[in-house]
Amino acid sequence: MDYKKTNAPLTTITRNLYEMSGDENLYEMIAIISKRANQISVEVKDELNKKLEEFASYADNLEEVFENREQIEISKYYERLAKPSLIAIQEYVEDKIYMRMPDEK
């Protein structure tokens, strides 16, 4: 999923959790959103690491620190994206999260 084009807010907004949960269990809803936020966080982190790896320079000397302008711009861009928890909440509100319960015996 393209998290750059999500319509999730960039800042936290107040929501009524009871209205969001509807007929579902409030604690289940929060667990679903938190697990989805963790998934999004891992995906975004992997994507960021892959992009930063392209510009990595491996120096043998630890005293030399290189400031790579491209790395800084990429990092700033990812910092401006909506946080994973806000994206997960927006996906839940828009009913884009698929959840299945394991078979209970």
Q: How far is CA 104 from CA 40, 65, 100, 101, in A?
A: 27, 55, 12, 8
Decide: pTM greater than 0.85.
no
Amino acid residing at 85: S
For the chain, what are the domain ranges? 23-93
**What would the mean pLDDT of 72-91 be, rounded to a whole number?**
88
Asked whether the beta carbons of 32 and 95 are under 8 A apart, the reply is: no
pLDDT band, residue 66 (cuts 50/70/90): low
Asked whether the beta carbons of 37 and 85 are under 8 A apart, the reply is: yes
- pLDDT at residue 43, rounded to an integer: 92
Query: For residue 88, with 0-12 CB atoms within 10 Å meaning exposed, 13-18 middle and 19 or more buried, which class applies?
Result: buried
Q: How far is CA 88 from CA 9, 62, 65, 68, 102, in A?
A: 11, 40, 37, 32, 21
Sign of the Cα torsion 65, 68, 72, 78 reads negative
Tokens of 53: 């790896």
